[in-house]
């Protein structure tokens, strides 16, 4: 069996960084690159939960054309926000979350999105994935954002052995060199969408296949 070694991480990241140029950038990463605005990153990430990237991308564009700051967002009616973000998953619940987040930002933070994970986690509807994305992509500060792709692929490689995203974040903070923290999520999300699929990954097309233990892989292409 192949053994994934931590010393190979620089090689793996370098290879995937090159491959990443061929793939479509994740929706939230694209929002961050275009705007460098923590508020847009925050709202886009909320929209992205359990939603396909293409849907998130278009919903974000529609919403930000109407409002791109907490004050203006709260001027929109609940129905107007719902209409703008539909058909993202759980759009009704997300509308309520967005409006509540904006209200708190306006009332308690002078409309400024916090730059600390612990502070962001105080907001209802904001979990560690969202908080880490805001910190890393919105502020350029070190953080390890773990979503389903990062959790699955890091374990599939054999780099770590964890049972949930929280434990994955803790392990990656220990094992992943800090210089890779910010880009790790964006690269693995694109990699997971294009090549390292949850079911039947495209191993024959994978540029880092030789480093992978293929933990849990039953069928591949």
Cα separation, 215 vs 221, whole angstroms: 15
110 is catalytic: no
Catalytic residue among 37, 53, 94, 147: 147
Residue 147 bears catalytic tag:
yes
Q: Tell me which long-range contacts 74-78 makes (C-beta under 8 A, separation of at least 24).
A: 74/99, 74/102, 74/103, 74/106
- Are the C-beta atoms of 74 and 103 separated by less than 8 Å? yes
> 149-186: b or e for each residue (b if 16 or more CB lie within 10 Å)?
bbbbbbbbbbbbebeebeebbebbeeebeeebbbbbbb
Instruction: Provide the residue count of the chain.
Output: 221
**Closest by CA position to 134, among listed 30, 25, 32:** 32
Distances (CA, A) of 53 to 17, 18, 57, 87, 141: 20, 21, 6, 12, 24
Catalytic residue among 37, 53, 94, 129: 129
**Catalytic residue list:** 129, 147
């Amino acid at each position: 069996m192949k053994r994934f070694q931590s010393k190979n991480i620089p090689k793996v990241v370098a290879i995937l960084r090159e491959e990443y140029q061929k793939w479509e950038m994740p929706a939230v990463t694209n929002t961050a690159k275009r705007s460098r605005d923590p508020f847009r990153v925050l709202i886009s990430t909320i929209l992205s939960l359990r939603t396909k990237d293409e849907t998130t991308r278009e919903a974000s564009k529609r919403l930000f054309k109407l409002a791109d700051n907490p004050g203006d967002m709260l001027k929109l009616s609940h129905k107007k926000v719902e209409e703008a973000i539909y058909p993202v998953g759980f759009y009704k619940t997300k509308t309520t979350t967005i409006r509540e987040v904006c209200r708190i930002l306006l009332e308690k933070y002078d409309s400024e999105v916090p730059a600390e994970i612990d502070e962001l986690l105080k907001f209802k509807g904001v979990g560690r994935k969202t908080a880490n994305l805001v910190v890393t992509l919105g502020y350029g500060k070190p953080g390890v954002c773990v979503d389903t792709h990062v959790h699955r692929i890091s374990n599939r490689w054999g780099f770590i052995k964890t049972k949930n995203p929280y434990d994955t974040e803790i392990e990656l903070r220990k094992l992943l060199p800090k210089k890779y923290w910010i880009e790790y999520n964006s690269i693995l999300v694109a990699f997971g969408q294009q090549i390292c699929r949850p079911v039947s990954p495209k191993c024959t097309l994978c540029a880092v296949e030789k480093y992978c233990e293929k933990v849990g892989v039953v069928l591949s292409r």
